[in-house]
Amino acid sequence: QVQLVESGGGLVQPGGSLRLSCAASGSIFRLNGMAWYRQAPGKWREQVATITNSGSAVYADSVKGRFTISRDNARNTVYLQMNSLKPEDTAVYYCNAWDDYEYWGQGTQVTVSS
């Protein structure tokens, strides 16, 4: 079992920045990778960024050049640095991890508004 706890969401003005954190605990040595997803009201959950154990990162087209996913293995934590935020980035952001199973955090709200 793996437990994921997100933090760092909040209210930010357009053009601003936020950094989300996801702390993993439990059987993390079995994980193959971690990711961030988001879900806006009335929309499907979408994958935002993924990072594998080797450090390879993949981004959704909508966030390329603005968001950066990174990991601190010593802290068992994955980060999502979000810059140049837009109102359409408003969503609940979820941390995700997988091995033979898939694990989810509880989500953290990000609101981009003036």
What is the tens place of the pLDDT at every residue in 62-76?
Answer: 999 999 999 998 889
> According to the model, what pLDDT value does residue 55 have?
86
What pLDDT is attached to residue 26?
Answer: 86
CA distance 80 to 52: 14
pLDDT on residue 61:
97
The arithmetic mean of pLDDT across residues 64-93, rounded, is 96
pLDDT tens, residue by residue, 49-62: 999 988 899 999 99
Distance CA 39, CA 33 (A): 20
